[in-house]
Structure 1
Amino acid sequence: MNPMPPRGKRSPARRGPAACGVLTLAATVTAAAALVSCGTDSDAPSSEGSRTVSERPTAPDSSAFSEKTASPLKSQASEAAESARASASEAQASASERADEFEASVSADTERANQAAENALKDVDGKGNAMSDVSMTGRPRSETGGVLASVVTFTNRTDKTADFAVRVDFLDSSGKTVETRYVGTENLEPGKRAQRYAISHAPPEPKLSAKLVKAQRY
């Protein structure tokens, strides 16, 4: 019979295939962890397919920004000035058109009579011979299509048929003549009265006032 081994001592256990598999798996996991740790190191370059961390954005060059925006701003200022000039021109053209339309609606002979009045006053010195026979009254813009107009009243105080011509100046607030219009009436019988319009073709602003400058009977 084989002698019994001493109590308290055990023979070293034999490692079977299962134990070796566990050890191998543990070593694999450890190696993988080490690789992951190295791959996520902030100093190491990222591998292909991994997310790239963007660098901190730098502030734009202020001088370059000014150079780029200066030209468009100048262009916008130029366009605004041109638009203002165009608006003023359109306002003046519109006022002139409305005045022409109003004159045409008053009488078909208005332009011819007014041209005759201008010709008649070319050689007249001073205020003329008919200032006492002519008066002038303003009309509300609401009645004249928005234009500045005054009613000129001619009275023939003689015993003969006569033609009349007047010059009307439109003045600004400083008294400067901005526009001159000529108004006339023809073949006015003795003791009769006639009314014609002196109409400004200037834009609504600045506001003007009408002044009777000359009146001639001929």
Structure 2
Amino acid sequence: MNTPSPRGGRPVRARAASAVVAVVATALGAVGLVSCDSGGDDTGSPSFSDRPTPPDTASFSGEHPSSVASAAESRIASAQASASSAAASASAREASRQASIGAEIERSRQAAENALKGVEGRGNALNEVGMTGKPRADTNGVLTVVVTITNKTSATASYAAQVDFLDPSGKVVETQFVGAEDLPPGERKQPLVISRQPPEPVLTPRLTKAQRY
């Protein structure tokens, strides 16, 4: 029987031991590569984080959608307030104008009534004052009379007229006064006389007096 040479067995065991050491070293090296940072070397393996990094909002441009919506709503509200204020102002101006017209009509009516006080008969200006009725269809059924005053003299003059409204029996149920002040020669004015009585019974207007003063 042949006995293995001691010199041949030693190299086999040495080579096996060397192989084990190499495998262990390789494994340790791999672990070191995975767990160690490259220390700023751009060519090293990338590092990972379990948490996502929040965005840098300082680099955003524009506004947050809720801020944009709020600003738009504010501008709309401001525009609506301005429009409402303008409408209220226009309404106030119109109301003031109507009040001014009403005050002037009342002042002229009072002046005509005062001018006719003490006038006997039918006055001195019946040939300068005429009267026509407006169609009820144009006045919503309200009895309205147009009094036409024409200065037929050569000098500026003022006029006063009295209009009575008579019921079917001939009784005066309403009296109105109207006039024109400082009317130049040849000029004409057409004030309105509106009855305050109900549409029924139907009334008849009559020019009772006309005075130039």
Question: Could you tell me the TM-score, scaled by structure 1's length?
Answer: 0.50
Q: What CA distance in whole angstroms lies between the structure 2 residues aligned with 1:104 and 1:160?
A: 32
Fraction of identical pairs, as percent: 59
In structure 1, list runs of 5 or more residues that go unmatched: 1-102
Q: What CA distance in whole angstroms lies between the structure 2 residues aligned with 1:113 and 1:193?
A: 16
Q: Secondary structure at the match of 1:173?
A: coil
Q: Go from structure 1 to structure 2 and tell me whether the alpha carbon gap of 1:120 and 1:162 turns closer, same or farther (over 3 Å shift).
A: same
Provide, for residues 149-204 of structure 1, a one-character-per-residue CA deviation record: whole Å limited to 9, x for no partner. Answer: 11000010111111100000000111110100001111110011110111111111
Aligned with residue 179 of structure 1, among 160, 174, 180: 174
Provide, for residues 11-68 of structure 1, a one-character-per-residue CA deviation record: whole Å limited to 9, x for no partner. Answer: xxxxxxxxxxxxxxxxxxxxxxxxxxxxxxxxxxxxxxxxxxxxxxxxxxxxxxxxxx
Q: Go from structure 1 to structure 2 and tell me whether the alpha carbon gap of 1:105 and 1:170 turns closer, same or farther (over 3 Å shift).
A: farther
Q: What CA distance in whole angstroms lies between the structure 1 residues aligned with 2:120 and 2:132?
A: 24
Q: Which protein is bigger by CA-based radius of gyration?
A: 2
Superposition RMSD in Å? 2.0
In structure 2, list runs of 5 or more residues that go unmatched: 1-97
Q: What CA distance in whole angstroms lies between the structure 1 residues aligned with 2:153 and 2:101?
A: 26
Contact kept? 1:168, 1:211, Cα under 8 Å: yes
Q: What CA distance in whole angstroms lies between the structure 2 residues aligned with 1:188 and 1:108?
A: 20
Aligned with residue 203 of structure 2, among 193, 204, 208: 208
Q: Secondary structure at the match of 1:117?
A: helix
Deviation at 1:106, TM superposition (A): 7.6
Q: What CA distance in whole angstroms lies between the structure 1 residues aligned with 2:210 and 2:167?
A: 22
Moved over 3 A (4+): 103-108
Once the two structures are superposed, the pairs formed by residues 35-74 of structure 1 within 5 Å of their partners are none
Structure 2 residue aligned with 1:26? none
Deviation at 1:145, TM superposition (A): 3.7
Question: Which amino acid in structure 2 is aligned with residue 198 of structure 1?
Answer: V
Structure 1 residue aligned with 2:104? 109
Question: Could you tell me the TM-score, scaled by structure 2's length?
Answer: 0.51
Q: Go from structure 1 to structure 2 and tell me whether the alpha carbon gap of 1:104 and 1:200 turns closer, same or farther (over 3 Å shift).
A: farther
Question: Which amino acid in structure 2 is aligned with residue 184 of structure 1?
Answer: G
